[in-house]
Structure 1
Amino acid sequence: MRENRLRTLFADKKLALNGWVSMGNSLLAEVLSHSGYDAVTVDLQHGLFSIEAAVSILQAISTTGAVPLARCSENSLGEINKLLDAGAYGIICPLVNTREDAEQFVRACHYSPRGGRSYGPARGVLYGGADYFTHANRTVLTLAMIETKLGLANAEAIMSVPDLDGIFIGPADLAIDMGLAPDNWKDKQVTDAIQSLVALGAQLGKYIGIFAGTVEMAQRMKEYGLDMVAPGTDIQLLRAEAQARIAALR
């Protein structure tokens, strides 16, 4: 089966940079994937497109060296199975608040006896290889999102779930749940939470990723020791570069 390079980078203690597709355009996803990211995530939670569109986006990412990931819209076995069958090499699951949520998520991502995933990886076999079934459970990456105060309080229980590879921090929703503005990542409540999750991940040997909406934030997260950083969505990158060029020419 094709290597999941994110696991190799994690083993080598190297930061992974993760692109983020929210516009639903396969050409844009292909361009983004050719830009040097280690992985690119197809976002079905906030992306304005359906799972049908996600298939062509995963195909576009797969023409490059970036690892194709997907964020499911919810903790649903049906949707997670479809995304994995379509060739996603990892799933980021939103709003995992309890150990039970994490167990449900992990079960959806793995074949028996480690889980309850149904067999039918039509495109997964094309991308992963003929021996997909043999190695899928050890290759697909499972990241549960911690983005609420409840999830933060239950972080150790969540990260202790067998076969959960790690977590992906949602700092905007975490800030909102703390009574802050979504972009207030510098508040001590948020930075303390992030650093505590990084420390816990190191203690438990778990993968820790985060979304960072700005370069400044991404650089700080790199300093904190995150394993994966997503430095903005396709929309944010397009807007920022357009504004920078316009400002330079005005």
Structure 2
Amino acid sequence: MSAAEIDGFADRIRQHRGGMISAWVGIPDATLANHLAQEAFDTIVLDMQHGMWDMPSAANAVAQVRLAGKPALARIPVGDFASASRLLDAGASGIIAPMINSAEDAQAFVKTTKYPPLGERSWGPSLALNHTGLSADDYLKNANALTVAIAMIETRAALEAIDGILGVAGIDGIFIGPSDLSIALSNGDQVAPNAAEIDSAMQHAVSRCRAHGKFACAFAADGERAGELLKFGFDLVIAGAETAQLRSGARRAINAARRIASA
């Protein structure tokens, strides 16, 4: 895939051209991200909130994912908007920001991810220029369109403010964190990302995205749940974390070996 095709990711997701499936990587290893990018994922998300990535390792992973012909997204730690602009400078195609609970939070996020007139992103995209092959002038003119700012909806406050968040110019879409949302909606009683109440909230979020002409993403623990969320109308879903996929693959291999050996 060419740089132009990788950087067409933003246009594709904004136009809702088919449900996309992403890998999710918290282990800070660029080679692992590259391996996953060889599979039929549409993108790779680097989780810097609960994963162990630091900026150098994340920038290296962005390069490895792009080398494999895929766009890379990154979820930043809560409120770490400075990292958002640095990851875009490194060539990330988009940023997922957790705990965006209000229009004001969304505006602060946009300030660091979009150049004027939408935001106040500071200039310094040296690696992004290398990856895209664009001149400085062309990158400045097109960067806001080539990259996406994705606000996470994962609290009761965020769900109530969803129209205000989606109404912020520069917010391209949202990402539902169903585990945190289930904790919030149950007042801390349970982690139940597949509960009926969460299904209802997620379907409501998709409808509000459609009303605002923006896209919706969500986390799913496995492929089966990811398929259900695509049926809900989500534009991009996570099909499980790499740690779960790694351990599941290991279990299958161990069980197969034991079964055949004991036959």
Q: Considering the TM-score relative to the shorter chain, is it more than 0.5?
A: yes
Q: 1:126-182 CA distances to partner (integer Å, 9 max, x unpaired)?
A: 112222212001111110000111111111111111121110000011111122532
2:148 equivalent to 1:141: yes
**1-side partners of 2:114 and 2:241: how far apart?**
28
Instruction: Give 1:97's match in structure 2, choosing from 101, 113, 119.
Output: 101
| Aligned residue-pair number | 249
Matches within 5 A, 1:212-227: 212-227=220-235
C-alpha distance in 1 between matches for 2:10 and 2:226: 18
Give the direction of change, closer, same or farther, for the CA distance of 1:75–1:157 in structure 2 (3 Å limit).
same
Q: Which of 213, 220, 238 is the equivalent residue of 2:246?
A: 238
Match of 1:248 in 2: 256
1:57-82 deviation digits (Å, cap 9, x = unpaired): 11110102211111111233321111
**8 Å contact kept, 1:4–1:89:** no
Contact 1:19–1:233 at 8 Å: present in 2 too?
yes
Rg (Cα) greater in structure: 2
Q: 1:227 to 1:12 in 2, by over 3 A?
A: closer
State the distance in 1 between where 2:24 and 2:141 align.
29
CA distance in 2, matches of 1:110, 1:9: 17
Contact residue 20 and residue 230 of structure 1 kept, 8 A: yes
- Find the counterpart in structure 2 of residue 45 from structure 1: 49
Is contact 1:4-1:140 (8 Å) kept?
no
Q: Confirm whether residue 67 of structure 1 aligns to residue 71 of structure 2.
A: yes
Q: Which residue of 1 aligns with 2:116?
A: 112
What are the ranges of 5 or more consecutive residues in structure 1 without an aligned counterpart?
none
Which residue identity is paired with 1:50?
A: D
Letter matched to residue 144 of structure 1: A
Which of 178, 195, 202 aligns to 1:194? It is 202
By how many angstroms is 1:5 displaced?
2.0
Tell me, yes or no, if structure 1 residue 76 matches structure 2 residue 80: yes
Give the aligned residue type for 1:152: L
Cross-structure match for 1:150: 157
TM-score, structure 2 as length reference: 0.90
Tell whether 2:175 aligns with 1:168.
Answer: yes
Deviating more after overlay: 1-10 vs 173-182: 1-10
Letter in 1 for 2:190: A
Change (3 A) 1:109 1:41: same
Distance 1:74 1:123 in 2: 24
CA deviation vs aligned residue, 1:170-213 (integer Å, no higher than 9, x gap): 0011111122532x223221111001001111111111000101
With normalisation by structure 1, the TM-score equals 0.95
1:9-65 Cα distance to aligned partner (Å, 9 max, x none): 542531111111110111111000111111111111011121121111111101022
Residue aligned with 1:31, SS: helix
Aligned identity (percent) is: 32
What is the DSSP-based 3-state SS (H/G/I as helix, E as strand, rest coil) of the residue aligned with 1:35? Answer: coil
Where 1:62 maps in the other structure, the secondary structure is helix
**1: CA distance, partners of 2:13 / 2:150:** 16
- When residues 194 and 45 of structure 1 are mapped into structure 2, their CA distance, relative to the original with a 3 A threshold, is same
CA–CA distance in structure 2, aligned partners of residues 49 and 99 of structure 1: 28
2-structure distance, mates of 1:59, 1:205: 31
* Maintained 8 Å contact 2:11/2:145: no
Q: Which amino acid aligns with 1:174?
A: L
User: For residues 212 and 87 of structure 2, what CA distance do their matches in structure 1 show?
Assistant: 28
Tell me the residue number matched to 2:261.
none
Report the CA distance shift for 1:244/1:6 in structure 2 as closer, same or farther (over 3 A): farther
Kept after mapping to 2: 8 A contact 1:81/1:117: yes
Distance in 1, matches of 2:240 and 2:37, equals 14
